[in-house]
Amino acid sequence: MADKSFNPFQMAQAQFDAVAEKLDLDAGARDLLREPLREYHTAVPVRMDDGSVKVFRGYRVQHNDARGPCKGGIRFHPHETADTVRALAMWMTWKCAVVDIPLGGGKGGVVCDPHDLSMGEQERLCRGWVRTLAKNMGPLKDVPAPDVMTSPQHMLWMLDEFETIHGAKFPGFITGKPVGMGGSLGRKEATGFGVIYTLREALKEMNIRPQDTLASVQGFGNVSQHAIDLFNKLGGKVTCVSCWDQQDQTAYSYSKADGVSLEELRSITNRFGGIDKDKARDLGYEQLPGDAWISQEVDILIPAALENQVNAKTVETIGKRVKIIAEGANGPTTPEADAFFKERGVFCIPDFLANAGGVTCSYFEQVQCNTNYFWPKDEVLGKLDQKMTDAYHAVSELARQKKLYMRDAAYTISIMRVEQACRQRGWI
């Protein structure tokens, strides 16, 4: 995100345009689907602990709601831009469609660095963001969820503000709530586990046993930690992870040839997914530059941090052994890197398929809230596995039949579903 020349919305539009062209979509459908339906830009004044007022920029973008209310996370990040949120909202539309849940695509963001905000300031920011958008979101319109640097606690503050404004209980307003306060068991694991459910299926198709594979992961936050957990449980070994170092304002990779220990690293990681570098070195991890995660001699790469990480420059350094890239993050791979993967025959499980476990479990959370009956964790994860596995095989089957790159196959399914919904409603 720090690379100012990179525009995620232009990348999302270019991906859409290429598939729309192959599908021969008519001009009306293309015009509608390559732009958001609505977007809101807000100014959020927050009383800081020292008594001053600071105004934060907030966004909510609703890309398409033909298949159901918009759905998508709210991200706190210092480099957030309107175009990042537009891209993420558009990818949410395709994500909900590829797993066939009755929701559209939305996304929110606030330009801020929560590292620098007290919990009180973060609470007032959450409440302020909801106040500026309370008329434009809601269980039947647009439902937020956690994303980068936002947590179940943030979701609960946002819910409380929305319910205070509207004078009633609306547990379906937001997902990713704490368990016991309307949250679903399995939600915190859902995105990372979903990545691994799809990876497991890809390995089966390639006749590779997980226990014979090594992986390298970018990021050590919610998605990454749960992906590593399930990958380890399947027998796979992760030899390198990376994260952002707030103190040095740069990323580092941490490697261990015989495999990183999830529990050990968790014990030296802060709530933003930042690993304590001194403690990591003391535990025998080799500290490497931020981009080193991509050049490891592993079978599988799991980017699970931010967009634009596997790009024309970094992809050149990719290890020779890499066979699969399973995208936990949204938009980690640029079209230039996709071209490289196609040429090298690296199998890609594209972001809006691989990381759809989060929104799928959020949908389960809505269903549970609406019926006021909460399922055991095994039931949630069992249903999640089924949804992800079915979606993976639908995409993989189409890719095989039509000889498509997996990202293009996933786009084909999603675009056709959303286009059909728009057509049936008489919009196009």
The whole-angstrom separation of Cα 164 and Cα 148 is: 26
The whole-angstrom separation of Cα 157 and Cα 161 is: 6
For the CB of residue 359, give the shortest distance to ligand NAD in the complex, in Å.
Answer: 7
Torsion, Cα of 323, 324, 325, 326 (10° steps): -160
**294 counts as binding ligand NAD under rule CB under 6 A:** no
Closer of 147 and 299 to ligand NAD (Cβ): 147
The whole-angstrom separation of Cα 358 and Cα 350 is: 15
Residues for the chain: how many in total?
A: 428
Q: Which of 213, 239, 296, 355 binds ligand NAD (CB under 6 A)?
A: 355
Closer of 275 and 422 to ligand NAD (Cβ): 275
- The count of other CB atoms within 10 Å of the CB of residue 333 is 26
**222 counts as binding ligand NAD under rule CB under 6 A:** yes
For the CB of residue 53, give the shortest distance to ligand NAD in the complex, in Å.
Answer: 27
Closer of 25 and 114 to ligand NAD (Cβ): 114
For the CB of residue 332, give the shortest distance to ligand NAD in the complex, in Å.
Answer: 7
Buried b (16+ CB within 10 A) or exposed e, 238-258: bbbbbbbbeeeeebbbbbbee
Closest of 6, 420, 267 to residue 412, by C-alpha: 420
Closer of 149 and 238 to ligand NAD (Cβ): 149
**273 counts as binding ligand NAD under rule CB under 6 A:** yes
**219 counts as binding ligand NAD under rule CB under 6 A:** yes
Closest of 148, 136, 147 to residue 243, by C-alpha: 148
Q: Which of 81, 218, 314, 334 binds ligand NAD (CB under 6 A)?
A: 218
Closer of 125 and 251 to ligand NAD (Cβ): 251
The full DSSP string for 187-244 is: HHHHHHHHHHHHHHHHHHHTT--GGG-EEEEE--SHHHHHHHHHHHHTT-EEEEEEEE
The whole-angstrom separation of Cα 101 and Cα 313 is: 36
Site string for ligand NAD, 181-210 (x = CB under 6 A): ----------x-------------------
**128 counts as binding ligand NAD under rule CB under 6 A:** no
The residues facing 269 across adjacent strands are: 275
Q: Which of 221, 285, 387, 392 binds ligand NAD (CB under 6 A)?
A: 221
Q: Token pair of 128, please?
A: 């302020």
**350 counts as binding ligand NAD under rule CB under 6 A:** no
**39 counts as binding ligand NAD under rule CB under 6 A:** no
Q: Which of the ranges 15-23, 153-161, 199-207, 299-307 carries the binding residues for ligand NAD, by CB under 6 A?
A: 299-307
The whole-angstrom separation of Cα 415 and Cα 263 is: 40
**329 counts as binding ligand NAD under rule CB under 6 A:** yes
Cα dihedral across residues 106, 274, 79, 125: positive or negative? positive
The whole-angstrom separation of Cα 181 and Cα 322 is: 42
**148 counts as binding ligand NAD under rule CB under 6 A:** yes
Q: Which of 104, 109, 274, 350 binds ligand NAD (CB under 6 A)?
A: 274
Site string for ligand NAD, 227-266 (x = CB under 6 A): ---------------xxx------x---------------
Report which DSSP code applies to 50. T
For the CB of residue 215, give the shortest distance to ligand NAD in the complex, in Å.
Answer: 15
Angle, nearest 10°, between helix axes 335-344 and 8-23?
60
Closer of 91 and 173 to ligand NAD (Cβ): 91
Closer of 161 and 365 to ligand NAD (Cβ): 365
**388 counts as binding ligand NAD under rule CB under 6 A:** no
Tell me the C-alpha to C-alpha distance, in Å, between residue 276 and each of 113, 179, 220, 280, 303.
Answer: 19, 28, 12, 6, 20
For the CB of residue 89, give the shortest distance to ligand NAD in the complex, in Å.
Answer: 12
Q: For residue 169, indicate whether it is catalytic.
A: no
- The count of other CB atoms within 10 Å of the CB of residue 5 is 5
**DSSP tally for the chain: helices H, then strands E:** 14, 12
**Binding to ligand NAD, residues 56-85 (CB under 6 A):** none
Given the residues 107, 188, 237, 256, select the one marked as catalytic.
107
Closer of 202 and 356 to ligand NAD (Cβ): 356
Q: Which of the ranges 146-154, 227-235, 256-264, 376-384 carries the binding residues for ligand NAD, by CB under 6 A?
A: 146-154
The whole-angstrom separation of Cα 420 and Cα 278 is: 54
Residues classed as catalytic: 107
Chain contacts with ligand NAD (rule: CB under 6 A): 146-149, 191, 218-224, 242-244, 251, 273-274, 290, 304-306, 328-330, 355, 358
